[in-house]
């Protein structure tokens, strides 16, 4: 896991777990992940901020956590 400048020129996709009310808005770049083997995640409200770069396993863990908290 690292905190690096967000990759430029990629398509960011809003997480289906974002609340849609302007609050918890997380985006990820699936095409970048498929090409580079690392999953970038960013806060959609601050796109110029650094991105969190996760391993595929780390990203899967984050998705599992979001699913379990989505009660």
pLDDT single digits (tens) 39-70: 999 988 888 888 899 999 999 998 888 788 76
3-state secondary structure of 56: helix
* Distance, CA of 33 to CA of 67 (rounded, Å): 20
* Distance, CA of 20 to CA of 31 (rounded, Å): 23
Give yes or no for residue 14 having a pLDDT over 80. yes
* Distance, CA of 17 to CA of 34 (rounded, Å): 21
Report H helices in 1-71.
Answer: 30-36, 56-69
pLDDT single digits (tens) 17-39: 565 665 668 889 999 999 999 99
Q: pTM of the full predicted structure?
A: 0.75
| Number of structural domains found in the chain | 1
Identify the domain containing residue 58 by its residue range: 2-69
């Amino acid at each position: 896991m690292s905190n690096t400048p967000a990759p430029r020129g990629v398509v960011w996709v809003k997480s289906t777990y974002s609340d849609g009310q302007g609050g918890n808005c997380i985006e990820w770049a699936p095409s970048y992940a498929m090409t580079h083997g690392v999953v970038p995640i960013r806060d959609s409200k601050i796109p110029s901020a650094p991105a969190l770069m996760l391993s595929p396993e780390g990203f899967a863990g984050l998705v599992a956590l979001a699913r379990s908290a989505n009660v």
